[in-house]
Amino acid sequence: MDVTASRMTDQIFPIVAVGDSAEAHERMHVRPLDRKTIGSPFVDNPRMMCRDVDVFYGDKQAINKVSIDVGQNQVLAMIGPSGCGKSTFLRCLNRMNDTVSSCRVQGEISLDGIDIYHSSVDVVPLRARVGMVFQKPNPFPKSIYDNVAYGPRIHGLTRDKNELDEIVHTSLIKAGLWEEVKDRLREPGTGLSGGQQQRLCIARAIAVGPEVILMDEPCSALDPIATAKVEELIAELRTQFSIVIVTHAMQQASRVSQRTAYFHLGDLIEVGPTEKIFTNPGHKLTEDYITGRFG
């Protein structure tokens, strides 16, 4: 983990450091025997429910009996050391893991009470309802307009050009990109800067009108100003959508999320209200991670 980030976290949520770092380092590499998640993984009225989710890549287990809820109009932040399975778990929520042939998912994940891995469920409408923004901006090699209009077009959401223009307009406004691109909608989306591309991808995702948005480290390639814009956007989107965000920046998790989940080597160690996780973590591993003892 980034040292400066942890220092800043310390300033926001002063924590009394416990234990010396060598000892903590040792703990890091021991898989906790007790696999029960501590804290409060469940909420009333969940949008999505995950129960005993296991994910395997071939024979290798990447996610181990994870149970958690995604609440309505809430931002859930997922943190944890690199390679602990955050992206893997996130990709289970809209079945993007189906595209990886070696990947196998067990357990139950449901959206509004319907098991999304049931054989009768069609992934195409599911992915329209559960949108995703990737870690690396991946605009299509089309114009800015066509990028945002892509989803509405393939889903036939509009009857005429005016409606489509309207959707593109509002999506770009929501993503905070409209002012910068309103005069160049016909120019290629790949010609934008990295931060603009990421906001374009966010606009593209919300143009479909998803109910849940999954974001995998959406700000990892962005400068502080673009990051602030995306965070503002997340705060605004929360009023309509449910959001799950993976992040390596502690202070970002603390700023944008209501609940935080800490993953470690494929286990979900602790879930709780963000403030509690950062001020008074219940598990040694969580505490070591957020105080920058390892990672």
Partner 1 sequence: MIYPYIIPSILALSAGVYILGLRRAEKVATYSGGLSELHSLPTHYGVFAALCCAMPALLVLVLWMIFEEKVITSMVAGNLPADLLRQSANELTLVINEVKNVAFGGFTATSGNPAIEKAAVAYMAHLTSARNMVSILVVFCSIIPAWFAIKSIGKDLRARNLVEGAVRIVLFACAGVAILTTIGIVFSVMFEALRFFQAVPLTDFLFGLQWSPQIAMRADQAGSSGAFGAVPVLTGTFLIAMIAMLVAIPIGLLAAIYLSEYASSSLRNWAKPALEILAGIPTVVFGFFAALTVAPIIRELGTALGFTVSSESALAAGLIMGIMIIPFVSSLSEDVIHAVPQSMRDGSLALGATHFETIRHVVIPAALPGIVGSILLAVSRAVGETMIVVMAAGLSANLSFNPLATVTTVTVQIVTLLVGDQEFDSPKTLAAFALGLLLFVFTLALNFFALRVVRKYREHYE
Ligand X SMILES: Nc1ncnc2c1ncn2[C@@H]1O[C@H](COP(=O)(O)OP(=O)(O)OP(=O)(O)O)[C@@H](O)[C@H]1O
Residues in the interface with partner 1 (CB under 8 A) total: 31
Q: Which stretch binds ligand X (CB under 6 A): 24-32, 40-48, 77-85, 274-282?
A: 77-85
The Cα–Cα gap between 230 and 228 comes to 5
291 binds Mg ion (CB under 5 A): no
Interface of this chain with ligand X, residues 84 to 143, rule: CB under 6 A: 84-88, 100, 102
Do 164 and 156 touch, CB atoms closer than 8 A?
no
Q: How far is the CB of 181 from partner 1 (least distance, A)?
A: 16
Residues in the interface with Mg ion (CB under 5 A) total: 1
Q: How far is the CB of 218 from Mg ion (least distance, A)?
A: 12
Q: Residue 142 binds what, of ligand X, partner 1, Mg ion, none (CB under 5 to 8 Å, by partner type)? A: partner 1
Nearer residue to ligand X within complex by CB, 149 or 249: 249
* Contact pattern from residue 193 through residue 232 relative to partner 1, giving x for each residue in contact according to CB under 8 A and a dash for the rest: --------x--xx--x------------------------
Structure tokens at 282: 């219940």
Q: Residue 124 binds what, of Mg ion, ligand X, partner 1, none (CB under 5 to 8 Å, by partner type)? A: partner 1
The Cα–Cα gap between 145 and 132 comes to 19
Closest to 63 in 3D by CA, of 71, 52, 75: 52
83 binds ligand X (CB under 6 A): yes
Interface of this chain with Mg ion, residues 31 to 90, rule: CB under 5 A: 87
* Contact pattern from residue 87 through residue 116 relative to Mg ion, giving x for each residue in contact according to CB under 5 A and a dash for the rest: x-----------------------------
125 binds partner 1 (CB under 8 A): yes
38-39: strand order across its sheet: 38-39, 267-273, 259-264, 75-79, 242-246, 212-216, 130-133
Do 185 and 65 touch, CB atoms closer than 8 A?
no
Nearer residue to partner 1 within complex by CB, 83 or 191: 191
Strand residues in the chain grouped as ranges (E):
38-39, 46-57, 60-71, 75-79, 103-111, 114-115, 130-133, 212-216, 242-246, 259-264, 267-273
Q: Which amino acid is at 158?
A: T
Structural element, H or E, at residue 279: helix 274-279
Closest to 247 in 3D by CA, of 226, 228, 267, 262: 262
Q: How far is the CB of 101 from partner 1 (least distance, A)?
A: 8
Do 277 and 40 touch, CB atoms closer than 8 A?
no
62 binds ligand X (CB under 6 A): yes
| Burial class of residue 63, CB neighbours in 10 A (0-12, 13-18, 19+) | buried
Nearer residue to partner 1 within complex by CB, 105 or 271: 105
Q: Which of 19, 58, 83, 141 binds partner 1 (CB under 8 A)?
A: 141
Do 253 and 247 touch, CB atoms closer than 8 A?
yes
Q: How far is the CB of 31 from Mg ion (least distance, A)?
A: 20
In the complex, which residues of this chain contact partner 1 (CB under 8 A)? Answer: 94, 96, 99, 101, 124-129, 131-132, 134, 136, 138-143, 150-151, 154-155, 188, 190-191, 201, 204-205, 208
In the complex, which residues of this chain contact ligand X (CB under 6 A)? Answer: 57, 62, 80, 82-88, 100, 102
